[in-house]
Amino acid sequence: MPLRHASMQHQLHRNGVRLHTAMMSRIQSHGADDPPSEEELELMEERRKLKAERDERHAQEQQVRPKAPKTVRTTRAQPKPKEAKEASKDKDAKAAKKAAKPHLTRTEKHAQKAAALDAARKSAKKSAKT
């Protein structure tokens, strides 16, 4: 993330306004030929320093900064190559899982349900003779 530097523009503007006010007050009271007052000289020096700092910040901003390396992101994890021994162990483990938990498939469940409904329907229709 780049460093954020505060702008010097507002400080320069305020300094310029104060400098202009000081110059105009000196010109109106003493005349244009009078040398600048101490306040004016201080404001001019401050303005010179602000401009130098602004230029320094601008030069620093133009320098190339190191950037973080780009990372490649994949949407899927790449499968790891398996060895022959691990494959046979996995098959044995899968077979043991199936033997431990017998699951009915969807079609088997529907067939059981249909058989139960047929049996219920047939048992409900008893003959009137009995």
Of 48 and 74, the structure prediction assigns the larger pLDDT to: 48
Q: Which residues contact 46 (CB under 8 A, 6 or more apart)?
A: 15
d(Cα 58, Cα 112) in Å, to the nearest integer?
A: 80
Task: Indicate the number of domains in the chain.
Answer: 2
Q: Which residues contact 13 (CB under 8 A, 6 or more apart)?
A: none
Position 3 in a domain: no
Position 74 in a domain: no
Position 77 in a domain: no
pLDDT greater than 50 at residue 1 = no
Instruction: Tell me, yes or no, if the pTM score tops 0.75.
Output: no
Q: Render pLDDT for 6-17 as a digit per residue (tens, 0 to 9).
A: 678 899 999 999
The domain of 49 spans: 9-62
- Helix 38-62 / helix 9-30 crossing angle, nearest 10 deg: 160
Of 45 and 92, the structure prediction assigns the larger pLDDT to: 45
Position 16 in a domain: yes
Position 73 in a domain: no
Give yes or no for a contact between 61 and 79, defined as CB atoms under 8 angstroms apart: no
Position 110 in a domain: yes
Position 4 in a domain: no
- What are the CA-CA distances from residue 120 to residues 107, 115, 117, 127 (Å)? 20, 9, 5, 14
Q: Which of 19, 44, 62 is the last residue of a domain?
A: 62
Q: Which of 62, 79, 105 is the last residue of a domain?
A: 62
